[in-house]
């Protein structure tokens, strides 16, 4: 209904405008063909009044001007009518375009209304489907919620059990790490102590080795020096000893011969002893006194005679030189009887 009233109002306006234009055109045509009124002058008046030619000319010019003005006004009126007619035409065209647009809009609106109705129906169907789907989803959700709750309970129990196990494992791991750390610390301390002890021992050994090397070098130098001195002294002593030994051997030989001679003088012999000997060991005091005598082996007769001769002598010759005495205080003699 609103669309019909909107269309009727512009149609009424357009019809009124067309009617007005037609009336104006009709009136304009009449005005165009209507002759200008001419003032009638009666002959008696012309005769009676002297007309001023200038006034006549002015009046004629005024009439011409009025005519020109009337023509101009007519042209303007015609132009105005044409302008209005053009405006009416344009308004009509706009009105028709507006009506066409309104019709198209109404048609589009109807299409859109149909689409909206279809969409509404589709929405209702979709809403119904979504409602059913939501109901099913809610049922599924409740089922899943129940299953989730059961799973969460089981998971919670498993998590609590896992926490207990993890706590026990963590404690065991912490104890293991602590033991490892303590063992590592002890091992490191032992290794450090060993390293320090080794370093100290190495240092001491090095110091000792250096001291020993130094001492050895010094000892070697001293030993070499002492050896050189000892060698020199030994050489000197050897030379002296050799000289003394020669002298002592001479003295020993001398006193040995004297002792044998003393024994021979006191030895009682017989023919059975010829060519036979006896070894006798004699121990002497520093004054030559015979402390003891022992036979070491030989002919028994010669041995008995030799021992008796030593006892008979009582004292045997000894050197006053202590060194020679030391060589002869215990002497082994071979006694061999001699015959004249």
- Residue 35: the pLDDT is 44
What one-character DSSP code corresponds to residue 51?
P
Q: In what order do the strands lie in the sheet with 278-284?
A: 290-298, 278-284, 330-335
- From the list 316, 336, 337, the residue with the least C-alpha distance to 328 is 316
| 290-337 confidence digits (pLDDT tens) | 999 899 999 999 999 999 999 998 889 998 988 888 988 999 999 888
| 122-138 confidence digits (pLDDT tens) | 878 887 888 888 888 78
- From the list 332, 215, 242, 232, the residue with the least C-alpha distance to 283 is 332
| 229-278 confidence digits (pLDDT tens) | 777 777 777 777 777 778 778 888 899 999 999 999 998 988 888 989 99
Confidence of residue 39 (pLDDT cuts 50, 70, 90): very low
Q: Using an 8 Å Cβ cutoff, are 88 and 18 in contact?
A: yes
**What predicted TM-score, i.e. pTM, was given to this entire model?**
0.32
Q: What is the 3-state secondary structure (H, E, C) of 24-45?
A: HHHHHHHHHHCCCCCCCCCHHH
CA 51 to chain centre: 135
Residue where the block lists tokens 């169907």: 125
| 22-36 confidence digits (pLDDT tens) | 444 444 444 344 444
- From the list 320, 267, 311, the residue with the least C-alpha distance to 289 is 311
Mean pLDDT rounded to a whole number for the chain: 79
What one-character DSSP code corresponds to residue 106?
H
Q: Is it the case that residue 8 has pLDDT exceeding 70?
A: no
């Amino acid at each position: 209904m609103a669309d019909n009233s909107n269309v009727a109002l512009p149609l009424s306006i357009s019809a009124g405008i067309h009617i007005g234009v037609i009336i104006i055109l009709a009136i304009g045509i009449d005005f165009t063909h209507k002759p200008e009124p001419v003032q009638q002058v009666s002959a008696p008046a012309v005769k009676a009044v002297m007309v001023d030619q200038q006034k006549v000319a002015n009046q004629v010019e005024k009439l011409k001007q009025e005519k020109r003005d009337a023509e101009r006004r007519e042209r303007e009126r015609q132009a105005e009518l044409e302008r209005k007619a053009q405006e009416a035409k344009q308004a009509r065209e706009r009105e028709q375009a507006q009506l066409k647009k309104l019709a198209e809009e109404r048609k589009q609106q109807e299409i859109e209304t149909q689409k909206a109705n279809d969409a509404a129906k589709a929405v209702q169907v979709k809403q119904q489907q979504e409602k059913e789907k939501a109901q099913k989803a809610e049922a599924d959700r409740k089922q899943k919620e129940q299953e989730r709750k059961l799973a969460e309970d089981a998971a919670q129990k498993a998590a609590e059990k896992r926490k207990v196990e993890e706590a026990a494992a963590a404690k065991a791991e912490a104890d293991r790490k602590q033991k490892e750390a303590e063992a590592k610390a002890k091992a490191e301390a032992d290794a450090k102590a060993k390293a320090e002890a080794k370093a100290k021992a190495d240092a001491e050994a090095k110091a000792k080795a250096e001291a020993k090397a130094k001492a050895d070098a010094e000892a070697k130098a001293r030993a070499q020096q002492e050896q050189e001195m000892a060698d020199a002294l030994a050489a000197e002593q050897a030379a002296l000893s050799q000289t003394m030994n020669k002298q002592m051997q001479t003295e020993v030989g001398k006193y040995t011969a004297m002792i044998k001679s003393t024994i021979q003088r006191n030895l009682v012999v017989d023919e059975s002893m010829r060519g036979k000997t006896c070894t006798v060991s004699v121990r002497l005091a520093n004054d030559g006194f015979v402390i003891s005598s022992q036979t070491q082996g030989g002919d028994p007769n010669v041995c008995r005679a030799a021992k008796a001769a030593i006892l008979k002598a009582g004292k045997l010759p000894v050197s006053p030189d202590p060194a020679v005495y030391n060589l002869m205080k215990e002497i082994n003699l071979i006694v061999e009887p001699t015959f004249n």
